[in-house]
């Protein structure tokens, strides 16, 4: 077996020097990415926490407090986007997707219930996956709101929100793309289908109970 030798005038010192420089560069890149990851985790947790509070405040009718938190949420989303903008592997990760989908759900829920409108997708400053995930989760939150309406015998209003649930489901259902492109969305569509059927049965049961008691559907308390 022959002995391998460096070509020309090259030396092992040259080889080690190149490797050392490259590893220093890589270490610098990884330090920056690790710092961005830690900050993304912190901001994502805060977004998730505040988004949950917004939803709770809307359910409780504390709309002004919900609106104030939404303003803070918008600031945090801008901050998160700035943190991960230079790091696509973080920007398109489950960590960021989960937080932003919670934000989308909270923002849409507030807009629908309080303002009777929905913001355009572009105005939310999120990528398409968390938007679709949040829209899918909105169906479940609307079901919770419908249950509260039925508890107050507001059947007609409950039926209006059921119709909105159905519209969201029908529009999401046509996005028949693989999970690799829109992760988690297909599952949320399947869940939405079951929630809609359960809600429809719940509303029908409430209406039948009111009829049995001789109470008009339109006479809501």
pLDDT digit string (tens) for 156-214? 999 999 999 999 999 999 999 999 999 999 999 999 999 999 999 999 999 988 888 77
Residue 27 makes CB contacts below 8 A (sequence gap 6+) with none
Please report the pLDDT score of residue 124 as a whole number.
Answer: 96
State yes or no: pLDDT of 33 exceeds 90: yes
pLDDT of amino acid 8: 60
Higher per-residue confidence, 71 vs 11: 71
The topology (CATH level 3) of 127-221 is Methane Monooxygenase Hydroxylase; Chain G, domain 1 (1.20.58)
Mean pLDDT of 17-26: 87
Return d(Cα 189, Cα 210) in angstroms, integer.
32
Among the listed residues 110, 170, 115, 119, the one whose alpha carbon sits nearest the alpha carbon of residue 142: 110
Average pLDDT over residues 120-133: 96
Label residue 206 exposed, middle or buried (CB < 10 Å: 0-12, 13-18, 19+): buried
Tell me the C-alpha distance between 109 and 94, whole Å.
Answer: 22
Q: With 50 as the cut, is the pLDDT of residue 219 above it?
A: no
Q: pLDDT at position 221, please?
A: 40
Q: pLDDT by residue (tens digit) across 50-106?
A: 999 999 999 999 999 999 999 999 999 999 999 999 999 999 999 999 999 999 999
Length of the chain: 221
21-126 folds as Methane Monooxygenase Hydroxylase; Chain G, domain 1 (1.20.58)
Is the confidence at residue 218, as pLDDT, over 70?
no
pLDDT of residue 17: 81
Closest CA to 172 of 198, 145, 195: 195
Do the beta carbons of residue 167 and residue 136 sit within 8 Å?
no
Portions of the chain given CATH number 1.20.58.2140: 21-126, 127-221
């Amino acid at each position: 077996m022959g002995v391998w030798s460096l070509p020309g005038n090259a030396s092992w010192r040259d080889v080690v020097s190149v490797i050392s420089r490259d590893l220093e560069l890589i270490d610098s890149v990884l330090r920056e990415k690790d710092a961005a990851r830690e900050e993304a985790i912190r901001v994502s947790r805060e977004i998730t926490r505040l988004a949950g509070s917004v939803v709770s405040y809307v359910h409780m009718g504390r709309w002004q407090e919900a609106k104030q938190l939404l303003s803070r949420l918008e600031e945090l989303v801008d901050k998160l986007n700035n943190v991960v903008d230079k790091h696509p592997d973080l920007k398109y990760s489950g960590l960021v997707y989960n937080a932003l989908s919670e934000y989308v759900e909270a923002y849409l829920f507030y807009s629908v219930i309080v303002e009777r409108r929905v913001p355009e997708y572009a105005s939310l400053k999120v990528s398409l996956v968390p938007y679709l995930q949040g829209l899918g989760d909105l169906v479940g939150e609307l079901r919770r709101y419908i249950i509260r309406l039925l508890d107050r015998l507001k059947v007609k209003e409950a039926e209006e929100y059921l119709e909105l649930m159905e519209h969201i489901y029908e529009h999401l259902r046509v996005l028949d793309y693989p999970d690799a492109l829109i992760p988690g969305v297909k599952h949320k569509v399947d869940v939405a289908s079951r929630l809609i059927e359960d809600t429809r049965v719940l509303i029908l049961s409430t209406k039948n109970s009111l009829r049995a008691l001789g109470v008009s559907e339109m006479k809501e308390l």
